[in-house]
Structure 1
Amino acid sequence: MANIKELKKKIKSTKSTSKITQAMKLVSAAKLAKAQNNILNSRPYARELEDTIKTVSALVQNYDHEFLNEKKDNNKAVLLVISSDKGLCGSYNSQLAKKVRKFLEETNLDVKLIFIGKKVRDLLAADLNKGKTYSFVKNEPTFMEMEQVGVELSELFKTGEVGHVFVAFNHFLSAIAFDPTVKQLLPLTLDTAEKETLKEKFPFDFKYDPSATEILNTLIPQTYISTLYTALLDAVAAEHGSRMSAMDSASSNCKKAIRTLSIKMNKLRQAAITTELSEVVSGAESLNG
């Protein structure tokens, strides 16, 4: 059984841990505010850009772009996994790793994995087909750096080295919730049902200036890069939210542990005082005969 000295030491250590987790929670909360603002500002643009591409490409006749071409005879694919470099963020990485494993089990494609962040890479089994891990000057890559990553992946698709490009990331829902997601980046396909729906919604011809071909040739690569960068912003916001939540839970657990240890220490102290009083009383009575 622990003595009072040991309990004091544990309480002091737990208080120090609590100060660290509280500080990490505040840092993550500040980073989350910025990241949340970035993703909420980026999503409408990315969504509107994607909707515009779908609408115009469905209505324009005889248009073709290399990013739209399905390569059904190519069974190879590349999956970019966006995770964190650091831990202490709850189930952020383990849930994404689980989603990636499930995707690999269910797909018939020969998938090669590449990574931004090392945590999911370390969690996945060693026998998976793993490729490079991107590293950047700062922990969170800039738009230009992600654009370069996107160009490298699109070159694999354009040259026929792979027939599909996917991205795996945690989709930000709120400060305490995220959704592990695997999304196809290339080809930018639009199924027949969606095309027919859009043709019914817009049963007329648009006038384009410049031409529809020029517009699509410009916007399709932008849509691809925008979708990739939005996935990164989602992942960053989800990471900070998950870490803030994890540190909040850790701080609460520290407080509970301190309270439990304090009660235990006070009981031991009370028992020691009672024993001493009993000894004093017994000694006094023996002296009085």
Structure 2
Amino acid sequence: MASLKEVRNRIVSVNSTQQITKAMKMVSAAKLRRATDAITQMRPYSQKLTEMIATVSASAEGAKDNPYTNIREVSKVLIITVTSDRGLCGAFNANVGKAVVNLINEKYASQQAAGNVEIMAIGKKGGEYLSRRGYNVNTKYADIFTRLSFASVREAAEEAMNGFENGKYDTVEVVYNEFKNVATQVLRAEQLLPIIEKKEEKVKTSSVDYIFEPSEEEIINELLPKALKLQVYKAVLESNASEHGARMTAMDKATDNAGELLKELKLQYNRSRQAAITNEILEIVGGAEALAAA
């Protein structure tokens, strides 16, 4: 059995940890509110822009000639991973890392064997996770969350888009956590480039008569790059909100676990203290009996 001093020191240590986790939970809750406001404001704009592109491109021949819709044999791959800069958020970062590893093994194993898979890490933890496992990681944009804005994310998106347009990459994918609620984050792996029209995203245009100014092709060429940058920015905002939700949940559980541990330690301390008092009483009684016998 541990001594009273050891148990007392553990109680002080766990109590300090509980205060820290409680404070981190409160900080994450405050950041989560701002992050959820940002993503809820972004979603309607992103959805409307996607619908507009689908509507216009459904009848525009120029969309087929756009460089971002150019489908070619995949030999060089770029995967954009969006994680956090810090830990203490449960399996939030590890899930993205594992998803990227599974994606490469299942879909791009031959390209990885040839050394033609590059990972663009947005967030430090994803880059660290994949670098330790021997993957080719570009950490140029790993610190985006220290200066989170559309301008900083746009730089990363433009590098990926230029790489695809110039033939450096044949396909670009994004892996991130989509925010649902505080306790739920949905892992997403989406193809950013080339742009492929999905059947479920087709829009009926027969009931709408559009007047295009300038031409359909010019509108498509203007909207597609904006939509791609917006898609990356939305993934970063989704991940940012998911991170704070995951950390808030993790710190809440850590606080509760610390409370349970404190109860056990206090019970152990009281038992040890009672045992020590009982031993002292027995020693006193034994000494008194020995004196009386003498």
- Structure 1 length-normalised TM: 0.90
Measured against aligned partners, the alpha-carbon deviations of 1:199-252 in whole angstroms (never above 9, x if no partner) come to xx3335622231323322221111111111000001111111111111111111
Cα offset for 1:122? 2.0
Q: Which residue of 1 aligns with 2:272?
A: 268
CA contact (8 A) 1:117 1:133 kept: no
Further displaced range: 122-131 or 160-169: 122-131
1:73 aligns with 2:77: no
Percent identical: 35
Which runs of structure 2 are paired with 1:70-149 in the superposition (5 Å)?
70=71, 72-108=72-108, 109=111, 110-124=116-130, 125-136=132-143, 139-149=146-156
Q: Give the partner amino acid of 2:196.
A: T
1:156 aligns with 2:170: no
Q: Give the partner amino acid of 1:45.
A: Y
1:277 aligns with 2:281: yes
CA distance in 1, matches of 2:255, 2:200: 49
Which runs of structure 2 are paired with 1:18-37 in the superposition (5 Å)?
18-37=18-37
Cα offset for 1:137? 7.2
CA distance in 2, matches of 1:224, 1:111: 21
CA distance in 1, matches of 2:144, 2:197: 37
Further displaced range: 142-151 or 182-191: 182-191
Local SS of the residue matching 1:189: coil
- The correspondence for 1:213, drawn from 201, 214, 217, is 217
Local SS of the residue matching 1:208: coil
Cα offset for 1:274? 1.9
CA contact (8 A) 1:118 1:133 kept: no
Further displaced range: 61-70 or 171-180: 61-70
CA distance in 2, matches of 1:189, 1:256: 52
Quickly say closer, same or farther: Cα 1:228–1:58, change in 2 above 3 A: same
CA distance in 2, matches of 1:25, 1:62: 51
Q: Which residue of 2 aligns with 1:202?
A: 205
Quickly say closer, same or farther: Cα 1:206–1:111, change in 2 above 3 A: farther
Quickly say closer, same or farther: Cα 1:137–1:92, change in 2 above 3 A: closer
Quickly say closer, same or farther: Cα 1:285–1:73, change in 2 above 3 A: closer
Cα offset for 1:128? 2.1
CA contact (8 A) 1:24 1:244 kept: yes
- Structure 2 length-normalised TM: 0.89
Q: Give the partner amino acid of 2:17.
A: T
Q: Give the partner amino acid of 2:205.
A: F
Local SS of the residue matching 2:69: coil
1:170 aligns with 2:172: no
Local SS of the residue matching 1:161: coil
Measured against aligned partners, the alpha-carbon deviations of 1:146-178 in whole angstroms (never above 9, x if no partner) come to 111111111101111111111111111211111
Q: Which residue of 1 aligns with 2:7?
A: 7
Q: CA RMSD in A?
A: 2.1
Q: Structure 1, unaligned stretches of length 5 or more?
A: none
CA distance in 2, matches of 1:74, 1:101: 18
Local SS of the residue matching 2:252: helix
CA contact (8 A) 1:140 1:236 kept: no
Q: Structure 2, unaligned stretches of length 5 or more?
A: none
Cα offset for 1:87? 1.1
Cα offset for 1:106? 1.2
- The correspondence for 2:194, drawn from 150, 172, 187, is 187
Quickly say closer, same or farther: Cα 1:270–1:209, change in 2 above 3 A: same
1:243 aligns with 2:250: no
Cα offset for 1:140? 4.7
CA contact (8 A) 1:49 1:223 kept: yes
CA distance in 2, matches of 1:133, 1:90: 25
Q: Give the partner amino acid of 2:174.
A: V
